[in-house]
Structure 1
Amino acid sequence: MTRGASEGAVDVVVVGAGVAGLACAQDLVAAGLRVRVLEASDAAGGRMRTDVRDGFRFDRGFQVVNTSYPQLRRRLRLSELRLRPFTPGLLVHTPQGKLRLGDPTRHPRMAADLRPGRLATLRDLAGLAMMSGRDLLAPPRVLKRQTDRTTRTALAQAGIGDELVETLFRPFLSGVFLEDELETSSRFFHLVWRSMLRGTLCLPARGVAAVPELMAATLPDGTVAFDVPVERLTDDGVLTARGDELAAPAVVVAAGPAAAASLVPGLRVPATRSVTTYYHAAPERPRAEPTLIVDTARRVLNTVVLSEVSPTYAPPGRALVSTSVLGVDETEGGEAEVRRVLAELYETDTTTWEPVAAYRVAEALPAMPPPWPLSRTTRVSPGRYVCGDHRATGSVQGAMASGARAARELLADR
């Protein structure tokens, strides 16, 4: 892979080396096409980047890898990622204390967490069990054909009452969808719930950047060029910010919503959800387990000791805590307020915790209200295509699937 655009004729230019663009490039190269991927930044990944400083690994926003994603399993050997799992469950902070919710299908001893009266009523738990069983066993095509409603409506129709919604689903799903009203597409919710029941949430030992790095490594040398921003599309290909024109009969724009709209005038893009992730270094681990903590008061979306998930995220003798809050938090004292909340959530003194990084991600996910098309065409004009999670669903699976669709449609058009 090179730092600038290489010379030579190509069949396709892919603008953007996130996982959508890389998936598209993989499939086009496999079909025998000559492909050039132009990336504006200094490395592959888009939003899936990891910074390494002072022995810490900082993913650019809290992210996880789900082992059940079909696109991920198709494109990579999961063993190469050296995945480290989260606990299959949650700790829910409530005014009455912490409640643990585990997955009894993986650890039968966790069934006690679901006894009636502890977390919810028997009726609520029966509704949860029936919904989970259906989502676990039903083929994805069945879930995709359901009438699309809000997630909150779908939970009510499953027989899950407000108490369990407010104690479990709303605080947990706020961190998944980056919105706290449960207004996201119910079809997408059921697919996400299915993936969580069937897969394991993990972190790669080298950070989430390992996913796009391994994808890029499967492409022929010279395919991906870094530090090459694209200024605009031309009739013959693309014009870079340096004034160089790269000709190709087909161009795939695999960028975020705002960047894609700037390159493709008239492109309709969805609203987006934003998030801020704070990283704190603690002198000792505040909780000795790789378990996600959510807060029913929703002061934070979630928090976890990342170095308990994977020790590679912190140097010896230090612990790294990741905490996310909804929106782009630029308020004065925002970090200090988060640290105050963490003292309550972890039941420890956080005054000695060092704020070591903060990432404000403005286009973290597309907003997906119903009716949300789980996939849409990538064709925008002859020889021009747009892919990304904003053209499918807000997930690694959705981004890769959109890239795969762009490749299929491009090949069909040839």
Structure 2
Amino acid sequence: MEKSTGGTRYDAVVVGAGAAGLACAGDLCAAGLRVLLLESDDAVGGRMRTDRVAGFTVDRGFQVFNTSYPQVKRRLDLKALRLRPFTPGVLVHTESGLLRFTDPSRRPKESRDLLSGRLASGRDLLALSVLSARDALAPASVLRGGADGTTLDALSAAHVSPRLVETFFRPFLSGVFLEDRLETSARFFHLVWRSMVRGTLCLPAGGIGAVPVQLAGRLPQDVLRTGAAVTVVTPEGVALADGREVRSGTVVVATGQRVAARLLPGLRVPDGRTVTTLYHAASRPPLEEPVLVVDSRRRFLNTCVLTAVQPGFSTDGRALVSTSVLGSPGPTDTDAVLRALGEVYGAETADWELVHRVTVTDALPAMPGPMPLSRAVRWAPGRYVCGDHRATGSVQGALASGARAARTVLADLRAGAV
């Protein structure tokens, strides 16, 4: 830690400076509380971190930034992030080559694969139109309150054909939910589809880590302390790894689910999804377009040329290709992915250099349907918990959970319950 807490007693201690913790701490500070935000790592962000590796900007796992999230609009200066968008839609590698799945209302001239029936039948096109219109136009509260099941149930109810499910939805959504059985909550699927129809997928110029850095920059001085690992939540506050204790009647645990379960014994948390992202450097880009590519054979989750989205991610002119796969593949599997990339991009990959590989355990909480879209943040008197595992596996879910925890803390303090 940067300095001793001495005899200071804080109104609230927030453990974990990921998106949820930053939102919670920010809202508590805005309400006038004396807050200490403790982060075990050397910087903020949690899973939203960016590194510089071999002259490239690489996120800790492939991540995109969705401009339509309400919490994002409320909390962030989007212009300062210097966002650059992906092309709306997705390229799907099929037996017929790369086919484009895109919203005809946005780019009708690029919807020939969809409109011609090469990718979807006329019935599928009608089903997609109804699904997208409903999810885009209905209030979010209606989608949250709808009947729940699995994503596969939702697609069946929307009359999407099994062919389109297997050709597009399963490979595409596997990269969104980090599972390939389409077992994720139907209500969450509808909210995600809504955000994609209404928003734009982008990348910040500084990588996804620029998002939590901006949130942290709005905190008052001396609120954030990095390198401060909390080992135990005590009756008086929290104990740190260096043996010191921070005193507070209010503690908010805003960590990932595994650490939260350790700090709050008895807390039930969902399983996590693990994903590995491979970053390859290529002498020339295999695709000039800033677009996400998925594989109908599901040999990987998704791939894209990051430098086609943000050219500044490379300092030497080489292209940076990101490819994500479920779990943690071994060397043989990694070689197979590279061969698949050669086929998908129609490029020679023998000279591609693997410059970085990152495996993220618990990258997302498992969200099998039916499931509640939010869980209680009050754990015990004066003890709270927030994070995407208490809401939905997204930046919106993490920020909203942090905001909810702050509201609950403030309500309890006003009521004298803490």
* SS of equivalent to 1:160: coil
Q: Distance in 1 between matches of 2:358 and 2:3?
A: 27
User: Which residue of 2 is the match for residue 92 of structure 1?
Assistant: 92
Matches within 5 A, 1:70-219: 70-219=70-219
* Residue segments in structure 2 that go unaligned for 5+ positions in a row: 414-418
CA apart distance, 1:316: 3.4
CA apart distance, 1:388: 0.3
Q: Distance in 2 between matches of 1:406 and 1:5?
A: 27
User: Is 1:333–2:326 an aligned residue pair?
Assistant: no
Q: Distance in 1 between matches of 2:211 and 2:221?
A: 18
User: Which residue of 2 is the match for residue 364 of structure 1?
Assistant: 363
Q: Distance in 1 between matches of 2:391 and 2:52?
A: 31
Q: Distance in 2 between matches of 1:105 and 1:55?
A: 39
User: Which residue of 1 is the match for residue 346 of structure 2?
Assistant: 347
**Equivalent pair of 1:328/1:362 in contact (CA under 8 Å):** no
Q: Distance in 1 between matches of 2:4 and 2:302?
A: 41
* SS of equivalent to 1:307: helix
Report the more deviating stretch, 4-13 or 28-37.
Answer: 4-13
Matches within 5 A, 1:232-311: 232-311=232-311
% identical equivalent positions: 59
User: Is 1:395–2:394 an aligned residue pair?
Assistant: yes
CA apart distance, 1:124: 1.2
User: Which residue of 2 is the match for residue 41 of structure 1?
Assistant: 41
* Residue segments in structure 1 that go unaligned for 5+ positions in a row: none
Q: Distance in 2 between matches of 1:3 and 1:356?
A: 34
CA apart distance, 1:412: 0.6
Q: Distance in 2 between matches of 1:396 and 1:280?
A: 26
CA deviations over 1:20-59 (Å, ceiling 9, x no partner) = 0000001000100011011000000000000012320110
* SS of equivalent to 2:10: coil
**Equivalent pair of 1:236/1:247 in contact (CA under 8 Å):** yes
Q: Distance in 2 between matches of 1:192 and 1:152?
A: 14
* SS of equivalent to 1:385: strand
**Equivalent pair of 1:5/1:228 in contact (CA under 8 Å):** no
**Equivalent pair of 1:40/1:228 in contact (CA under 8 Å):** yes
CA deviations over 1:343-387 (Å, ceiling 9, x no partner) = 111111111010001111110011111121111210010000010
Specify the code of the residue in structure 2 equivalent to 1:363.
D
Report the more deviating stretch, 99-108 or 338-347.
Answer: 99-108
User: Which residue of 2 is the match for residue 380 of structure 1?
Assistant: 379
Q: Distance in 2 between matches of 1:121 and 1:380?
A: 50
Q: Distance in 2 between matches of 1:155 and 1:371?
A: 15
| Shift in alpha-carbon separation, 1:51–1:3, aligned structure 2, 3 A | farther
Report the more deviating stretch, 105-114 or 336-345.
Answer: 105-114
Q: Distance in 2 between matches of 1:4 and 1:351?
A: 51
CA apart distance, 1:340: 1.3
Specify the code of the residue in structure 1 equivalent to 2:61.
G
CA deviations over 1:102-146 (Å, ceiling 9, x no partner) = 222222312323214211111111111101000010000011111
**Equivalent pair of 1:6/1:225 in contact (CA under 8 Å):** no
CA apart distance, 1:6: 4.8
* SS of equivalent to 2:9: coil
Q: Distance in 1 between matches of 2:224 and 2:309?
A: 32
Q: Distance in 2 between matches of 1:258 and 1:5?
A: 27
Aligned-pair RMSD on alpha carbons? 1.1
User: Which residue of 2 is the match for residue 62 of structure 1?
Assistant: 62
Specify the code of the residue in structure 2 equivalent to 1:366.
P
How many residue pairs end up in the alignment? 412
CA apart distance, 1:148: 0.1
Q: Distance in 1 between matches of 2:336 and 2:116?
A: 35
* SS of equivalent to 1:333: helix
| Shift in alpha-carbon separation, 1:4–1:323, aligned structure 2, 3 A | farther
Specify the code of the residue in structure 1 equivalent to 2:406.
A
TM-score by structure 1 length? 0.98
Specify the code of the residue in structure 1 equivalent to 2:239.
L
User: Which residue of 1 is the match for residue 416 of structure 2?
Assistant: none
**Equivalent pair of 1:19/1:399 in contact (CA under 8 Å):** yes
Q: Distance in 2 between matches of 1:90 and 1:332?
A: 28
* SS of equivalent to 1:393: coil
